With several copies, the nearest count.
Chain A
Amino acid sequence: MITLTDQPFDPAEALCDFEKRAIGAGAIVSFTGLVRGTSKLGTVKTLHLQAYSPMTERGMAKAAADANARWPLDALLIIHRTGDLEPGEPVVYVATASTHRRAAFEAADFLMDYLKTEAVFWKKETTDSGAHWVEPRPEDYEDRDRWSKTGT
């Protein structure tokens, strides 16, 4: 299940709903990404997230399908914000459920790497020293490359 929303959401509520869907799974891993209060450029005032619908949704659906093909998942959830966010607000929430603990961990990790480097979003951070667009760091691309399948 994938949700793109310009409204605030509550990760605890999302986990509660997800648990109901995932009954019988055994293992649930969840990731919450929150807007940080500080960045290299100072104190963060707002983070603006821009998407390109329906390309953004289509890419997220593809990543979810890839995760389902790769790991035996009982359920999967992605919630991603757009619009203007304040420090401490959730930007992204990913949850995975499986019989196997390892599968749940790896699938959540994989989805986050996708979201950080390939999901169709652009982020503009406004700090007390001005505004700038944030692009993925080299480490983000390295993290993503852990999942590339060579020769298959």
Chain B
Amino acid sequence: MAKLLYFGRLTDVFGANAETLALPAEVNDTSALRQWLDDDRQLGGTLMTKSIRIAVNDDIVPEPWPIADSDEIAFLPPVGGG
């Protein structure tokens, strides 16, 4: 099972901070994951924008990046604190 984390405005889009799910066999990199999840939740392309970065197991990755069903995968909209 993969753990997906949703930050910032994606928390509202998904209605949750996180979920655990089994990835379909063909979803084996971050590009495929963006496409599959966006379609599955009918987000109309929200996850396809480059301004949302992806971290795999706590590291932001260049994409596409391979993913496995045991990974923690975080979707990160533009950051900023202070």
- Output the least CB separation between A120 and chain B (Å): 5
Q: Assess the A120–B78 pair: CB atoms within 8 A.
A: no
* Interface set, chain A 102-152, CB cutoff 8 A to B: 112, 115-124, 133-136, 140
Contact across chains for B81 and A115 when beta carbons are under 8 A apart: yes
Q: Contacts A55-B58, A120-B76, A122-B7 given; indicate if A133 touches B12 (C-beta within 8 A).
A: yes
Q: Would you list the 6 A-B pairs with minimal beta carbon distance, nearest first?
A: A121-B81, A122-B8, A136-B80, A133-B9, A115-B82, A119-B81
Interface size class of A (residues with CB under 8 A): 20 to 34
Interfacial chain A residues near B81, Cβ < 8 Å? 49, 51, 80, 91-92, 115-116, 119-121, 123
Interface residues of B, CB < 8 Å — how many?
A: 18
Q: Which residues of A contact B59 (CB under 8 A)?
A: 55
Q: List B contacts of A122 (CB < 8 A).
A: 7-9, 11, 77, 79-80
Count of A-B contacts with CB under 8 A? Answer: 67
Across the interface, name the chain A residue whose C-beta is closest to B51: A135
Q: Which residues of B sit under 8 angstroms from A50, Cβ to Cβ?
A: 7-8, 11
* Chain B CB within 10 Å, residue with most, of A49, A55, A92, A122: A122
Flag if A118 contacts B79 (CB, 8 Å).
yes
Whole-angstrom distance between the alpha carbons of A136 and B51 in the complex? Answer: 12
| Chain B residue contacts of A42, Cβ below 8 A | none
Name the A residues within 8 Å of B47 (CB-CB): none
Q: Tell me whether A54 is interfacial, beta carbon within 8 Å.
A: yes
Q: Which partner residue on chain B sits nearest A115 by CB separation?
A: B82
Contact check, B76 vs A140: say whether CB atoms are below 8 A apart.
no
| B79 in contact with A119 (CB, 8 Å) | yes
Residues from chain B with a CB closer than 8 A to the CB of A134 are: 80
